[in-house]
C-alpha cells in the first residue's frame, strides 16, 4: 500500500481493529519515510464467478488461469513473473467493473489482448484453445488479423 502523501511503499501497522461489524479490519498505518498516518480496510474479496461456455458457473481460479496462460507460453522467452503480472492484470480488469460474474469469453479476450503484445506464438496457441479453432483456415485467419494489427 503506497503512502498517499509521499508514495513510499514501506509502512507499518500501528493499530488494527475490527470494523463494519467484524466484516472488515481497519488498520492505521504509518509511513516509514514521511511518518504520515493513513487508514486501510481489509475485506473479504467477493467470489468472482465465471459463466462457462456450456452455461455452468464456477468460481474464478487464479491458479487455473495461470496454468492456462503458462501452457500457451511453454518454451517461450517469457518469465513466470511476467505470467503472474499478466494474470493479475486480467483479474484486476475483470473485477474493476464490479460485476460478480464474468464469462469465459471475457476472460479469454482479456488474456488475448495482453498476450498479443507479449508473445505472438503464445497468443496463437491461446487463441486456438479459446476460440476453438476448427482447423487450419481459422488459424490462418487469426494470423492474418494479428499481422494486419501491427
Ligand atoms: Zn509517506
* Ligand 1: centre distance to CA 10 (Å): 8
Q: How far apart are CA 37 and CA 31, in angstroms?
A: 6
Residue 51 CA to ligand 1 centre (angstroms): 42
Cα 84 to Cα 27: distance, rounded to the nearest angstrom: 27
* DSSP run (H or E) holding 149: none
Q: How many CB atoms lie within 10 A of CB 24?
A: 14
Which pLDDT belongs to residue 54?
A: 87
pLDDT confidence of residue 128: 83
Q: How far apart are CA 61 and CA 2, in angstroms?
A: 27
CA of 20 to the centre of ligand 1 (A): 27
Report the 10 Å Cβ neighbour count for 89. Answer: 14
pLDDT for res 83: 93
2 alpha carbon – ligand 1 mean position (Å): 8
80 CA → ligand 1 middle, Å: 31
How does pLDDT run along the chain (150 residues), one tens digit per residue? 899 999 999 999 999 999 999 999 999 999 999 999 999 999 887 889 999 888 899 999 999 999 989 999 989 999 889 999 999 999 999 988 778 899 988 999 899 999 988 999 999 888 887 776 555 566 667 767 767 765
Q: How far is CA 23 from the centre of its chain?
A: 25
Handedness of CA 64, 70, 71, 72 (dihedral sign): positive
- The set of cell numbers assigned to 85 is 503480472
pLDDT at 30: 97
Supply the pTM of this predicted model: 0.66
Query: Please, are residues 40 and 29 in contact by the beta-carbon 8 Å criterion?
Result: yes
pLDDT given at position 13: 97
Whole-angstrom distance, CA of residue 20 vs CA of residue 70: 39
Q: Sort strands 101-103 and 49-51 into parallel, antiparallel or unpaired.
A: parallel
What pLDDT does 15 receive? 97
Q: Which residues surround ligand 1, an ion (CB under 5 A)?
A: 3, 5-6, 8, 31, 33-34, 36
Distance 93 CA to ligand 1 centre (A): 28
Residue keyed to cell 513473473: 81
Amino acid at each position: 500500500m503506497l503512502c498517499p502523501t509521499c508514495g513510499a511503499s514501506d509502512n507499518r501497522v500501528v493499530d488494527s481493529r475490527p470494523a463494519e461489524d467484524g466484516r472488515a479490519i481497519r488498520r492505521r498505518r504509518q509511513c516509514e519515510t514521511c511518518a504520515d498516518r493513513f487508514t486501510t480496510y481489509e475485506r473479504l474479496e467477493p467470489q468472482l464467478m465465471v459463466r462457462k461456455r456450456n452455461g455452468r458457473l464456477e468460481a474464478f481460479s487464479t491458479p487455473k488461469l495461470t496454468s492456462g496462460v503458462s501452457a500457451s507460453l511453454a518454451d517461450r522467452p517469457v518469465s513466470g513473473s511476467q505470467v503472474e503480472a499478466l494474470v493479475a492484470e486480467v483479474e484486476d480488469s475483470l473485477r474493476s467493473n464490479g460485476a460478480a460474474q464474468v464469462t469465459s469469453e471475457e476472460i479469454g479476450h482479456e488474456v488475448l489482448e495482453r498476450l498479443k503484445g507479449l508473445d505472438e506464438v503464445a497468443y496463437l496457441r491461446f487463441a486456438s484453445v479459446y476460440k476453438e479453432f476448427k482447423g487450419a483456415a481459422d488459424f490462418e485467419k487469426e494470423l492474418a488479423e494479428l499481422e494486419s494489427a501491427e
